[in-house]
Structure formats: C-alpha cells, structure tokens
Copies of this chain bind each other. A is one copy, B any other.
C-alpha cells in the first residue's frame, strides 16, 4: 500500500545487521523485521538511510535487503532512503524498490543548497527524476545536511509537489516548526501532511502535543516510542512523560553522532534482536568504557521499564 498523508505511528529507522566479518546477516534482518513490526508494534520501517549503513551496500545488496524486508513486512509500510548525489542513481533505486513493493521513498537535500529557490528547485528535479507517481518523504535534518528549510519553504515544496506525503522532521529546535506547519494546514494554506519526528526521539514528548503524527527514528527501544505515541493520543500526558523520562538518559546517549549507531546496535544485540553489533568497515566502535556506560544506563532503565531488564553479560 503506497504511503499517504494519513500515515501515523512509528516508522523505525532500521540498521543493517552484519556478521562480524562484514557479511549481511539475513537471519538477524528477519528477526529484526519481525520484532519491529510484530512485538514492538511499529507501523512501518525506514531502511537504507545513513544509520542503515546504506553507503556500504552495493547496488545489488541494497535491492536484496529492501526486497527481503518488504516481503517479510506484509502490510506494514516500508520506506526506502534514496538520497543520492545523482538523479540517475536516485531514479534507479526508487523505481527498483517501488517495484519490489516499497510504500514510498525518502529524499534529503544535498548540502550545498543555500537559498530557498535552490531547495525548491532541487525537489522539483528529484520528482521529475523518480516520477511523480512515487510517494516520498521530505527529510528535514539541518544539523546533518546543513540545509535550512523554513516552514514557508516546506509549504512551497508540499504545495508544488503532490507526491510529497510526509515530513521527516528533525530540525532542532523544531517544536515551533511543527506548530507553524499545522497552522498552515488549519488556515488552509497548506494541504494535510504526515509529520513523523526523528532526532532519536529526544523531543517526542512535546512533538506529539505540537501536532506530530508519530516518530521515525531508530532508538533501540522502538516499543517505547510506540507506547509514547499511543499514550499521547489517549491524552495520558503524565504516563507518557513518566515513561519518556525514564528512557531519556539512554535516548540522549544513543543520539551521539558517530558512536550512536554502535550504541544502538549494541543494545539491539543485548536485547537479542540482532546477533552482532558489528558494523561493516569503516565504522565507529564503542570503547570498553562506553560499553560500561551503556550497561549502567540499561541497569537503571530496567528498574522503570521491564524491557530493559536484560540478562547479565557473560
């Protein structure tokens, strides 16, 4: 089912599991998919992003991973990152994964764009390249991509390009941006748009109240993100905040650029979801001290959330 503006809930940014020798770990891939979409209760997954080590996969591997996850996902929506330096590569990957059954694709702007018209023109060109029939997610992540899109620019993109159905919101600070976009909708100057939030979930507590539809991020406890979204929708603000606050020390720790993916994979391994926390080369490893810090955070979290009560390390 193609992605549309009614999408809500949690789309997990998925890592790619590898064996310690660098080979793809398909059983872990399957187990992880089952966990995210089954046990954890997520609504979808987003794959082949930066945190999925996509640049380390060649074209054939990228398609194989996409197909495997899509076929296992059943009705849940799989979004595939297709950001690329060239429109030819973007088109090839986008058409390929849509044929394989993806729900949509995600596109981030290249980091040399520094004025509004250049940003808007880029997305026009991207849609011309991939075809206007493919639903896509606009990734707004200025800290990483160095491109600033004001609410007005986002509105121009949304109104110019009907196939843009979702915003991956990870500006920081971004609370007022959600408010501004929802105001545009309320006043009728922008059509409806799904807004899912990133940044590891570190503002998810307030983002829901500001009007977000959910989260799209890869925090190693996506089941917690699902709870936060549900509790927020049910109006249980204090319960949501209690759970969120218990996880915040870990959310913050995992949000570190560079080492964050190592932390995430380590926790997923500790939870038994993937077999190894190995990254394909080149990757950033955790030091022994960092591992101790993560274990300390897990042990404290386990007192509030049973999902973090993990068997002691051998």
User: In whole angstroms, how far apart are the Cα atoms of A36 and B150 in the complex?
Assistant: 37
Q: Which of A25-33, A87-95, A217-225, A267-275 contacts B (4 or more CB under 8 A)?
A: A87-95
A46: Cβ under 8 A from any B Cβ: no
User: In whole angstroms, how far apart are the Cα atoms of A85 and B50 in the complex?
Assistant: 11
Which residues in B have their C-beta under 8 angstroms from that of A188?
none
User: In whole angstroms, how far apart are the Cα atoms of A176 and B258 in the complex?
Assistant: 11
Which residues in B have their C-beta under 8 angstroms from that of A56?
86-88
> Is the Cβ of A85 less than 8 Å from the Cβ of B249?
no
What 1/0 mask marks residues of chain A from 123 to 161 whose CB sits below 8 Å from any chain B CB?
Answer: 001001000000000000011001111101100000000
A6: Cβ under 8 A from any B Cβ: no
CB-CB nearest in chain B for A245: B249
A59: Cβ under 8 A from any B Cβ: yes
> Is the Cβ of B114 less than 8 Å from the Cβ of A59?
no
> Is the Cβ of B89 less than 8 Å from the Cβ of A58?
yes
A55: Cβ under 8 A from any B Cβ: yes
Which residues in B have their C-beta under 8 angstroms from that of A172?
256-257
Extra contacts, 15 of them, besides A55-B84, A128-B281, A128-B282 (Cβ < 8 A), are A55-B87, A55-B89, A56-B87, A57-B86, A58-B92, A61-B88, A115-B116, A116-B116, A116-B117, A125-B282, A172-B256, A173-B256, A173-B257, A209-B293, A245-B248
- Please provide the 5 A-B residue pairs with the shortest distance between their CB atoms, ordered closest to farther: A55-B86, A173-B256, A58-B88, A114-B148, A116-B116
